[in-house]
Homo-oligomer: A and B are copies of this chain.
Amino acid sequence: MDGEQFRAASRQMTDYIADYLTNIRERRVLPEVEPGYLRPLLPAQAPDTPDEWSDVMADIERVIMPGVTHWHSPHFHAYFPTGNSYPAILADMLSDAIGCIGFTWISSPACTELEVVMLDWLGQLLDLPSQFLAASGGKGGGVIQGTASEATLVAMLSAKTKMLKQVKKDKPYMADNAAAALVGYGSDQAHSSVERAGMMAGVKMRQVASDDNFAMRGPQLREAILKDKALGLIPFFVVGTMGATPACSFDNLREIGEVAQEFGLWCHVDAAYAGSAMVCEEFRYLMDGVELADSFNFNPHKWLLVNFDCSAMWIKDASEVVEAFNVDPLYLKHEQQGQVPDYRHWQIPLGRRFRSLKLWFVMRLYGKHGLQAHIRKQVDLAHQFETRVKKDPRFEIIAPVTLGLVCFRLKRSNEVNETLLKNLNAGGVIHLVPAKIKDTYFLRFAVCSRLTEPQDVDEAWQEVLKQTDLLLQEI
């Protein structure tokens, strides 16, 4: 395919994309295919000679679309949102065309430098403490990670290196066995990636019991740390969550941060979903105490209209990350080392795309007010759904509706609620996923698509009512 053929093909793809997103409401949100549906639709091997472009385009509807779960459908209410916007798509086109690998400054200065500045812009939009920003001229700075899972792992590995160095200095007799004695903490509401990071980093992780609002609190963390210290273990790391996946609950960052400082733990804040809401002043009380954290992460690719992947992470003292796994072969050295970040030291992989273009395009083409309006509208839609649930005495809300998630259930057994969820998803009108806290199974209604309107929320509730009536008639 040459440049002229690309011009024509890209126009076709552009129209396909605009049509797809404009009319996405008409598609069944959850596909009806069975596992293994796709293989019989394709040849057993790649063609020897090129296929026609028109055949490739036609195969999108024939092969792919029947098996797509439409995350940007206004009927999609599962998990948490993932970002999608026209500015982000345009930025990714440019990123693909430039196609640079930004592992060092010299490998594409614009790739590194735009990222430094965009993480400052973004941090300012959230009103993050200035120590996190490169613009402050201190040791802090931001970086784009692929996912919140990777940000947690990077923070954990940095904390591990820092603590092992400390032990070696303070208690050299313990140094040999220190790694096996490290222990980290997260709430019982923390994302599964926190436990998983512990498995990857080879350290023990404890789940601290959350309180009645599903929040991890200082005294419980303190107690867990003291218990482990009495066993001869070395507490080194804690994750505080803002907007935990099961019920969008918030740990008490101030209490956790104070305990972390008391015992010398690295405090990482995982605000994967809820961080985006900090562009609105009225939600910033939820991050009270964030200035006590060592690192902070949230996913613009979740709720801030940026396409996956773009997980923004700030570190108060970036040198502690850089030193954690710094390997420096000659073929990656360059003359400007030290003057600018070499982001390869800040992340798990070596290679990296030009992802800050997405942040730049989205922040410029929405503006601060546009991003705030998006968040506020989606929170309003969640409250509209909440209001409907509360009016029906057969249902209960099981957690405060703070942002865009409504956790609800029939006042019946877990099994009845499981059947309701199964029937809702089988109905094909809306898509939800469940969660369970302290043995209570519930349904999660997340406002996800940027295309969701009040009428969609109303239709979703009508579908819940319809499936509920059918179910309760049967049992």
Contacts and interface: CB of A to CB of B under 8 A. Distances in A.
Given A147-B351, A348-B149, A109 B1 contact: no
A217 interface: no
A60 B90 CA distance: 12
A361 to B, nearest CB: 6
B179 A42 contact: no
A360 B62 CA distance: 14
Contact of A364 (B36, B50, B110, B117): B50
A171 interface: no
Nearest to A113: B38
A444 interface: yes
B17 A157 contact: no
Contacts of A19: 3
Nearest to A154: B200
Interface string A145-181: 0110110010001001000000000000000110110
Interface stretch (A286-294, A388-396, A428-436, A462-470): A428-436
B14 A6 contact: yes
A367 B202 contact: no
Interface stretch (A100-108, A234-242, A255-263, A313-321): A100-108
A66 to B, nearest CB: 7
A99 interface: yes
B348 A348 contact: yes
Interface string A363-406: 11111111000000000000000000000000000000000000
A471 interface: no
B246 A331 contact: yes
Contacts of A39: 113, 116-117
Contacts of A176: 180
Total copies of the chain: 2
Contacts of A367: 46-51
A17 B94 contact: yes
Interface stretch (A188-196, A219-227, A452-460): A188-196
Contacts of A96: 84, 88-89, 92, 307
A461 interface: no
Contacts of A340: 35-36
Nearest to A363: B46
A67 B6 contact: no
Interface string A423-443: 000000000011110000100
Interface in A109-138: 109-111, 113-114, 116-117, 121-122, 124-125, 135
A193 B89 contact: no
Contacts of A475: none
Interface string A182-205: 000000000011011001111000
A72 B354 CA distance: 14
Given A11-B14, A349-B147, A101 B71 contact: yes
Nearest to A34: B336
Contact of A51 (B53, B68, B349, B365): B365
A1 B86 contact: yes
Interface string A320-362: 0000110111111000100110000000111101000100110
A436 B328 CA distance: 13
Given A71-B108, A325-B196, A349-B149, A1 B93 contact: no
Contact of A46 (B20, B31, B93, B125): B125
A69 B99 CA distance: 10
Given A1-B86, A11-B11, 4 more contacts: A21-B97, A36-B339, A79-B101, A201-B202
13 contacts: A46-B364, A47-B367, A50-B367, A64-B110, A79-B331, A82-B351, A84-B96, A89-B96, A146-B146, A192-B350, A196-B327, A202-B202, A308-B351
Closest 8 CB pairs of A and B: A67-B110, A38-B113, A147-B349, A6-B86, A84-B99, A10-B14, A67-B109, A17-B97
